Amino acid sequence: MHGPASSGWLLVALCAAAGAYCLLRMRGSAGEERHAAGGEALMGFGMAAMAVPGTVFTPPSWAWPGYAVVFGAAGLHAVWAARTRPHHLHHLAGAAAMVYMAVVMASSPAGAHRHGGSGIPLVTGTLLLYFAGYVLLTGVRLVPAAAVPGGGTAAAGWADRPELARACRLSMGIAMVTMLLTL
Q: How do residues 53-62 score in pLDDT, each as one tens digit? A: 888 888 888 9
**What's the mean pLDDT in 85-112?**
86
Average pLDDT, the chain: 84
Task: State residue 150's pLDDT score.
Answer: 54
* Through-space distance between the first and last CA atoms of the chain, rounded to whole angstroms: 18
What percentage of the chain exceeds 90 in pLDDT? 52
E runs forming strands in 28-178: none
Q: Return the amino acid letter for 35.
A: H
Task: State residue 23's pLDDT score.
Answer: 92
Q: Return the amino acid letter for 181.
A: L
156's CB contacts (< 8 A; 6+ apart) are none
Q: pTM for this one?
A: 0.84
**What's the mean pLDDT in 61-66?**
92
Q: What is the pLDDT of residues 137-158, one digit of tens each?
A: 999 988 876 555 555 555 556 5
**What's the mean pLDDT in 6-28?**
91
CB atoms within 10 A of CB 133: 11
Task: State residue 104's pLDDT score.
Answer: 92
Task: State residue 160's pLDDT score.
Answer: 64
Task: State residue 147's pLDDT score.
Answer: 53
**What's the mean pLDDT in 7-16?**
92
**What's the mean pLDDT in 102-117?**
68
Task: State residue 1's pLDDT score.
Answer: 34
**What's the mean pLDDT in 43-61?**
89
User: What is each CA distance from 114 to 53, 104, 107, 130, in whole angstroms?
Assistant: 9, 11, 13, 23
